[in-house]
Structure 1
Amino acid sequence: MSLHCEGAPAFPSQDRVRYWRVAALGGNVAAMRHYTVGNAFGLNDTLENLDELHLYRNEAEAIAKRAVAAGDLPTTLALAAAYSPQPRNGRRFYLAQVVKPDPGQALALYLHVQDRLRDGPPLTQPARARMEATLRDLESGLSPAARAQARAQASRYSADTPVLPSDRGYAFNSPIVGATATIDRQDCDPPR
């Protein structure tokens, strides 16, 4: 990575965020994920990025929904965690700070993720237990009609979204629900 970046000029964090935003708005799925989960901002640069965070606040949910529609499961999981009214780890990531809690939408997205994971690598036992506990918590807070509506929405997600290759290991076996690992340069390459 250092060799790849050798000779590149350093630039302010605001420019870095703007580049990620432009790529996300342009439809790059990896950039949509990186931007909407807040990784583009960096915790050490929060105060330098206040103007960019204002833009983010107004558009992050819509960009995350575009990434979900494009089939990006890490963003789907991050949006599900953001909509969940009770964050399981007590921390509210950037995306959770800009969306209104919506347990029905959270349940639909988690069920969609669960459906997509059936054909992928198995979850670790802790990740499977977290997913099951999250589903139980969300279902217990919803009426039977709301649960049925969430299941119908999950089926529509599964029918309407493509299956993208992704590194499910870091996205779903992470100990922090709602967090998404920083992406590498190679993740921004178009799918083959």
Structure 2
Amino acid sequence: MKPWVWHTTNEDALTIAHVSVDNASPWVRRFVSQIPKTGTVLDLACGGGRHSFLLAEMGYSVLAVDQNISEIEKTANPFIYSKELNLEEEIWPLGGDKFTGIVVTNYLYRPHLDRLPEMLEKHGVLIYETFAQGNEQFGKPSNPNFLLKTGELLGLSQRHGLKVLAYEDIYQGEPKPALVQRLCAVKEG
């Protein structure tokens, strides 16, 4: 594993972390305990770090990556390492890294989607949740490049031999009306 940047301290660190954990996705909360605690969990396109803080609170070692990590760096947490990366470069910036879990929410970049299962260690867990086709009727995102096609996460699992533990392709009313796909899958071999 490559060395990552430690977070700096901030007087509001506990408040930021608590608010972030409270805002964690119910889907992620439901399945995060399926991730083995033996390695590092990747929070891909981590945003403000709501899932990184949840994972750290549960004792996981976390690598939080995004193109802007300024919010997550405001909080010192010995379980969270951050790395500022452009995840949409032609060359995948996380090549060669392996993780016991990968958490992705509200993010889709198809050119690198098939890399995620390849980065999982044996028994590693992929938790993925983002917007699906049809979401354009509710607002953004509405660009088809950012909306999963019907069954796309199931297809990803099948191509890479992941065992699907749970899957949904549904309408959700909260926190805002949206069409989403959700997946929790494990790499068995």
Query: Who wins on radius of gyration, i.e. which is larger?
Result: 1
Q: Relative to total residues, which structure has the larger helix share, 1 or 2? A: 1
TM-score of Structure 1 vs Structure 2, range by shorter chain: 0.3 to 0.5
User: What TM-score do the two structures reach when normalised by structure 2?
Assistant: 0.33
